[in-house]
RNA sequence: GCGCCCGUAGCUCAGCGGAUUAGAGUAUUGGCCUCCGAAGCCAAGGGUCACAGGUUCGAAUCCUGUCGGGCGCGCCA
């Protein structure tokens, strides 16, 4: 759909190189954006990379490559190959037509601009958040929600069919603790008193649930009824948090169903059949060290119950069986030890599942700082700061933009004071403001953006205008590489850059000028900017307001 | 002790399939609204890319080691 200029040029150069040098069959030319404008719009170090392979000086190769591809590049009308410079950098200067062309493309494709055509690819699953219903969502869940949802959207943008899944445990030991805690509250006990459940939950929400339970005529002696009530209440609360955050899931998968459907038993039988299990100290073990783990793992405890490892494996088997050939799990780095274990369990079952299945995006934890000190508690949840707190403090858009703006691996310091004092100069507002500004120009103008499709663009010749157009042209590539690397932060950075380029242009040039050709062309440029801003913001789950 | 992740400007962070003079925001300083929204723009100062070796014509980027920080190393989940 979007055949961008850069890809087209890369392809021509790659073909030229492969034809010219028999030893470079696997080589691909990659174009980069030079820092300095005099080096053209695109640049490649292909000649330098090939020098070793071919065994001749890079400068000479650069000349040869240029000669070999000069005509093919010229024929496209996209641009021209400049004389090689330095040790053999090959630079390309785009034609004005190529630079302007992207504007027409954006207006033509609208919300589809930047997206790859639907691929006949395998179904993809992104599993994220997966919080157990034992308390409100914390800031780490918020990061997972922002990351996971954006990763899913990125993969969709590349034509893949994506399922967003939330997995949770509604029946284990933690749930039992939850029920005991609510029961204790229902009986009038407080966490400060002796006799409070040992691993009980202490947040204020426990009391709320207990109060609601008794108010509804619930029996404080009926632990099972309490469990159901509490789980339902917390599921509702988490759903409300996610809704407030703008994240939707396609599937909620219950861990308890793995037991009732016999999938846990099946997994154990499969592991035993693999010959990789052994008995020791009354427990059943799996030799996960055969698959790269640093120690073997218990499958069935000496008391006959299973470790959490078993349903985990069974769960991932269902992902495979449900037809998901690519699965991405978004989790905190505190879970990184499960990666090897789950993969080992899947390998032991010999189901033909690839050894790297599933993929993981592990993010570092979020540290909330306020008044120069780390905040570890909140009134409602007790031992942690909630996602809801963050949303209340700075707003949904700002939280989503913030949380998706950093690489998953970076440790996230969320400075509350900063976020609050800067809530008006948060980067997200900078981007949204650019969008609102374009909308404002259009309402001043009074015409319809749709009428600008096919508008003549020849009047766009200023360096700022061409740079802006060039920035728009980058968008498809940004999505492609962000999707490939499962790195949505690249989208946030791109949007900031695009907004910056627009603000700069807006300040330097007037859009609604007398001359009709110039006015129309500039309006088309603005409409294209607005479209790409809206597309990118939508992808990371942030609104694109027309007024602020 | 072992494993994974991270150390880039005062602060928060990009860049890390090597390549032309290391970037942005914020903070600081100085300019710009009779003109499409100043939640904006323009400019200045600010970095031995933790440290030490190595590979390379060329390293923030790749390799090794050291130091510092985070997380994980249960018959908990």
User: Left (φ > 0), alpha (ψ -120 to 50) or beta: where does A385 sit?
Assistant: beta
Spanning CA of A424 to C1' of B46, the rounded length in angstroms is: 26
Which amino acid residue lies closest to nucleotide B35, measuring CA to C1'? Answer: A510
Which amino acid residue lies closest to nucleotide B73, measuring CA to C1'? Answer: A337
DSSP class of A301:
-
Nucleotide nearest to A301 (CA to C1'): B75
Bridge partners for A360 per DSSP: A329
Each residue of A467-493: pLDDT tens digit? 899 999 999 999 999 999 999 999 999
Closest C-alpha among A37, A23, A12, A16 to residue A466: A37
Spanning CA of A424 to C1' of B31, the rounded length in angstroms is: 23
Assess whether pLDDT exceeds 80 at residue A416.
no
Closest C-alpha among A421, A385, A376 to residue A143: A385
CA A306-A309-A315 angle, to 5 degrees, is: 105
Give me the mean pLDDT over the A211-225 stretch: 95
The C-alpha atoms of residue A343 and residue A52 are separated, in whole angstroms, by: 39
pLDDT confidence of residue A445: 93
Spanning CA of A310 to C1' of B10, the rounded length in angstroms is: 50
The first and second tokens of residue A539, run together, are 């992808």
Spanning CA of A174 to C1' of B77, the rounded length in angstroms is: 7
A9 or A371, greater pLDDT = A9
Concatenating the DSSP letter of every residue in A414-482 gives EEHHHHHHTTTT-HHHHHHHHHHHHHHHHHHH-S-GGGGTT---TT--SHHHHHHHHHHHHHHHHHHHH
| pLDDT-above-90 percentage for chain A | 67
The C-alpha atoms of residue A134 and residue A517 are separated, in whole angstroms, by: 62
pLDDT confidence of residue A52: 79
Place of tokens 């997995």: A167
What is the predicted ipTM? 0.95
Spanning CA of A135 to C1' of B69, the rounded length in angstroms is: 30
Stated as kind and residue range, the H or E segment containing A253 is strand A251-254
Assess whether pLDDT exceeds 90 at residue A375.
no
Sign of the alpha-carbon torsion through A194, A197, A200, A203: negative
Assess whether pLDDT exceeds 90 at residue A122.
no
Bridge partners for A330 per DSSP: A361
Each residue of A256-273: pLDDT tens digit? 999 999 999 999 999 999
The first and second tokens of residue A299, run together, are 């499958």
Nucleotide nearest to A487 (CA to C1'): B14
Spanning CA of A310 to C1' of B23, the rounded length in angstroms is: 47
Spanning CA of A531 to C1' of B10, the rounded length in angstroms is: 38
Which amino acid residue lies closest to nucleotide B6, measuring CA to C1'? Answer: A410
Assess whether pLDDT exceeds 60 at residue A422.
no
What is the gyration radius of the CA atoms in chain A, in angstroms? 28
Q: Is the pTM of this model over 0.80?
A: yes
**Phi then psi dihedrals of residue A351, to 5 deg:** -100, 10
The C-alpha atoms of residue A293 and residue A343 are separated, in whole angstroms, by: 10
Nucleotide nearest to A369 (CA to C1'): B12
For A45-54, A62-71, A356-365, A539-548, which range has the lowest pLDDT when averaged over its residues?
Answer: A45-54
Which amino acid residue lies closest to nucleotide B33, measuring CA to C1'? Answer: A507
Nucleotide nearest to A363 (CA to C1'): B5
Closest C-alpha among A357, A498, A334 to residue A411: A334
Spanning CA of A143 to C1' of B36, the rounded length in angstroms is: 38
Nucleotide nearest to A303 (CA to C1'): B75
**Residue A487 CB contacts under 8 Å (≥ 6 apart), including other chains:** A407, A408, A481
A200 or A419, greater pLDDT = A200
Spanning CA of A62 to C1' of B20, the rounded length in angstroms is: 15
Which amino acid residue lies closest to nucleotide B56, measuring CA to C1'? Answer: A52
Which amino acid residue lies closest to nucleotide B36, measuring CA to C1'? Answer: A441
Give me the mean pLDDT over the A402-422 stretch: 81
Nucleotide nearest to A484 (CA to C1'): B17
The C-alpha atoms of residue A396 and residue A150 are separated, in whole angstroms, by: 15
Spanning CA of A331 to C1' of B6, the rounded length in angstroms is: 17
Each residue of A135-147: pLDDT tens digit? 999 999 999 999 9
**Phi then psi dihedrals of residue A455, to 5 deg:** -65, 145
Nucleotide nearest to A490 (CA to C1'): B14
Question: Which chain B positions come under 7 Å from a protein C-beta?
Answer: 2-6, 12-27, 35-37, 39-42, 57-58, 69-77
Spanning CA of A409 to C1' of B4, the rounded length in angstroms is: 11
Spanning CA of A548 to C1' of B45, the rounded length in angstroms is: 34
Nucleotide nearest to A424 (CA to C1'): B39
pLDDT confidence of residue A2: 43
Query: Coil, strand or helix: which one is A35?
Result: coil
Q: How many residues does the structure list for chain A?
A: 548
The C-alpha atoms of residue A12 and residue A521 are separated, in whole angstroms, by: 30
Neighbours of A519 (CB within 10 A): 18
Nucleotide nearest to A332 (CA to C1'): B71
Give me the mean pLDDT over the A374-400 stretch: 86
Each residue of A148-170: pLDDT tens digit? 999 999 999 999 999 999 999 98
Spanning CA of A291 to C1' of B14, the rounded length in angstroms is: 36
Assess whether pLDDT exceeds 50 at residue A424.
yes
Nucleotide nearest to A423 (CA to C1'): B39
The C-alpha atoms of residue A525 and residue A469 are separated, in whole angstroms, by: 7
Place of tokens 């590539």: A477
Place of tokens 């003549």: A456
pLDDT confidence of residue A520: 94
Spanning CA of A44 to C1' of B48, the rounded length in angstroms is: 30
Nucleotide nearest to A295 (CA to C1'): B73
Which amino acid residue lies closest to nucleotide B32, measuring CA to C1'? Answer: A507
């Amino acid at each position: 759909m979007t055949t961008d200029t850069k890809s087209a040029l890369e392809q021509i150069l790659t073909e030229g190189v492969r034809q010219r040098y028999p030893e470079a069959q696997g080589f691909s030319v990659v174009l980069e954006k030079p820092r300095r404008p005099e080096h053209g719009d695109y640049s490649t170090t292909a000649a330098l990379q090939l020098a070793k392979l071919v065994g001749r000086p890079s400068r000479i190769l650069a000349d040869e490559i240029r000669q070999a591809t000069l005509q093919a590049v010229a024929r496209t009308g996209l641009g021209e190959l400049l004389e090689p410079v330095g040790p053999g950098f090959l630079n390309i200067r785009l034609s004005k037509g190529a630079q302007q062309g992207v504007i027409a493309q954006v207006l033509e494709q609208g919300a589809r601009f930047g997206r790859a055509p639907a691929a006949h690819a395998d179904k993809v699953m992104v599993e994220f958040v997966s919080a157990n219903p034992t308390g409100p969502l914390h800031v780490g869940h918020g990061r997972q929600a922002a990351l996971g949802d954006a990763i899913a959207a990125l993969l969709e943008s590349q034509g893949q069919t994506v399922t967003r899944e939330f997995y949770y445990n509604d029946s284990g030991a933690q749930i039992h603790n939850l029920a005991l805690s609510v029961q204790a509250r229902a009986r009038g006990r407080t966490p400060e008193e002796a006799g409070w459940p040992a691993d009980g939950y202490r947040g204020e929400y426990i009391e709320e649930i207990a109060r609601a339970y008794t108010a509804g005529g619930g029996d404080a002696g009926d632990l099972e009824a309490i469990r159901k009530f509490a789980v339902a209440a917390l599921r509702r609360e988490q759903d409300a948090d996610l809704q407030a955050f703008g994240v939707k899931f396609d599937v909620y998968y219950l861990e308890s169903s793995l037991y009732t459907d016999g999938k846990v038993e099946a997994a154990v039988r499969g592991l035993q059949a693999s010959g990789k299990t052994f008995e020791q100290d009354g427990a059943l073990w799996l030799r996960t060290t055969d698959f790269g783990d640093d120690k073997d793992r218990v499958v069935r405890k000496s008391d006959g119950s299973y470790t959490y490892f078993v349903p985990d494996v069974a769960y991932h088997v269902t992902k495979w069986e449900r037809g998901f050939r690519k699965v991405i799990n978004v989790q905190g780095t505190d879970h990184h030890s499960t990666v090897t274990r789950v993969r080992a369990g899947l390998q032991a079952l010999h189901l033909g599942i690839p050894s790297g299945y599933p993929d993981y995006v592990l993010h570092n934890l979020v540290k909330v700082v306020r008044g120069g000190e780390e905040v570890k508690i909140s009134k409602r949840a007790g031992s942690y700061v909630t996602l809801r707190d963050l949303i209340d403090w700075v707003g949904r858009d700002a939280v989503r933009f913030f949380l998706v703006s950093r690489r998953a691996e970076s440790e996230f310091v969320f400075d509350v004071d900063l976020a609050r004092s800067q809530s008006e100069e948060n980067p997200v507002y900078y981007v949204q403001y650019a969008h609102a500004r374009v909308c404002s120009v259009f309402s001043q103008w009074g015409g319809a953006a749709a009428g600008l499709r096919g508008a003549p663009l020849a009047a766009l010749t200023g360096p700022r205008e061409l740079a802006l157009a060039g920035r728009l042209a980058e968008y498809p590539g940004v999505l492609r590489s962000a999707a490939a690397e499962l790195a949505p932060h690249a989208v946030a950075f791109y949007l900031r850059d695009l907004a910056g380029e627009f603000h700069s242009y807006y300040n330097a040039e007037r859009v609604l000028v007398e001359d009709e050709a110039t006015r129309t062309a500039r309006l088309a440029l603005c409409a294209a900017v607005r479209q790409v801003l809206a597309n990118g913001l939508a992808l990371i789950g942030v609104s694109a307001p027309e007024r602020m």
